[in-house]
């Protein structure tokens, strides 16, 4: 069972990907994690990727797919995997499909966690983070005991630049330009399933479970 998670930044697809992995006993694969692991372990692919990253360039699609395919050949992927953060563009999806086809494999499900932009802006601008211990809170869903103070270490809570409305809107613009077309791409392949990401995360997961069963 090979699953791709789609959804705008802040839609909650990462949380759902982890739950799918746990429930079905398959690995949750985040491209960011694979890059970091390859660079840390000094692999040939990691060294190649690091060159681009050090120059502030995007890692080319072919290299990203090579690193990904290297990971999915591991024994823990024999029953499948859930991809989070890849593909992000049509060219990436096409390279992935052609490489999987060479292995006689294909993507089985593309799950879109659908959340309107205004909900995402509200959701992310309500986040607060402790820069000291890394704990995260939300002004609506997970309030600290004392306003602006971390429960765990007593440090000040801040709104990270990434979560500011103007930054979130920029990220959403990039998402709609680059990643939204994947919705049509997987829809044409008849493997796209959308779930309402505005409801409680448990309800979102129930909807995903029903699709995967």
Q: Which residues are part of the catalytic machinery?
A: 13, 88, 127, 160, 171
| CA 127, chain centre distance (Å) | 18
- Which stretches within 25-85 are classed as H helix? 31-40, 44-54, 61-72
CB-side exposure of 198: number of CA atoms within 13 Å?
8
Our CA angle for 180, 190, 16, nearest 5°, is 60
Contact (CB, 8 A) for 92 and 185 = no
Contact (CB, 8 A) for 182 and 90 = yes
Edge to edge, what strands does the sheet with 127-130 contain? 136-138, 127-130, 157-158
Residue 62's contacts (CB-CB under 8 Å, 6 or more residues apart) are 95
């Amino acid at each position: 069972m090979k699953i791709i998670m789609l959804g705008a930044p802040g839609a909650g697809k990462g949380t759902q990907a982890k739950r799918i992995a746990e429930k079905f006993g398959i690995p949750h694969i985040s491209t960011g994690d694979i890059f970091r692991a390859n660079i840390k372990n000094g692999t040939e692919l990691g060294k190649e990727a690091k060159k681009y990253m050090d120059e502030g360039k995007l890692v080319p699609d072919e290299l990203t797919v090579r690193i990904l395919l290297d990971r999915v050949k591991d024994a823990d992927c024999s029953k499948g995997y859930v991809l989070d953060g890849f593909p992000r563009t049509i060219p990436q999806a096409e390279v992935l499909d052609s490489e999987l086809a060479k292995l006689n494999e294909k993507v089985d499900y593309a799950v879109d966690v659908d959340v309107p932009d205004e909900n995402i802006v509200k959701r992310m601008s309500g986040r607060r983070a402790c820069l000291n211990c890394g704990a995260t809170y939300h002004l609506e869903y997970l309030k600290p005991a004392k306003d602006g103070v971390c429960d765990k270490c007593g440090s000040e809570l801040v709104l990270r630049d990434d979560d500011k409305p103007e930054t979130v809107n920029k990220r959403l613009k990039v998402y709609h330009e680059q990643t939204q077309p994947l919705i049509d791409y997987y829809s044409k392949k008849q493997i796209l399933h959308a779930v309402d990401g505005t409801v409680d995360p448990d309800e979102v997961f129930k909807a995903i479970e029903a699709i995967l069963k």
